Amino acid sequence: MDSSIIHSVIFTLKHEKNSIEAKQFLQDGRALLSSIPTVRHFQVFDQVSPKNNFQYGFSMKFESQSAYDAYNEHPVHTAFVKDRWEVEVVDFLEIDYKERQ
């Protein structure tokens, strides 16, 4: 059974959609978070559904719960959350899931 975890977060920034500041946040998020050794398949998305008001999404895969835990505790992740996420994100929804067998 596959124990990998998909971690997805959809979010809205305080910056105007597609502004220089928003683009910088997405670029920095990709560069910093994908540099964490346990992160696999990091992706950045524009949220396009009219069914919610979120703007963007990050998605990544972890091979195990311990890999996911290492990401959550990694200093690059905790610094990004403190210095950027908590300052620039106004709303978000986080989903962590495993494939159903």
Alpha carbon distance 28, 51 (integer Å) = 27
Alpha carbon distance 42, 58 (integer Å) = 7
Give the pLDDT score at 45: 98
Give the pLDDT band of residue 2 (cuts 50, 70, 90): low
**Which pTM was predicted?**
0.92
Total structural domains within the chain: 1
Instruction: Give every strand in the sheet of 89-97, ordered side by side.
Output: 40-46, 56-62, 5-13, 89-97
Q: What is the DSSP letter of 57?
A: E
pLDDT at 100 over 90: no
- The β-bridge partners of 12 are 91
pLDDT tens, residue by residue, 8-58 = 999 999 999 999 999 999 999 999 999 999 999 999 999 999 999 999 999
What CATH number is attached to the domain comprising 68?
3.30.70.100
Which domain range does residue 59 map to? 5-97
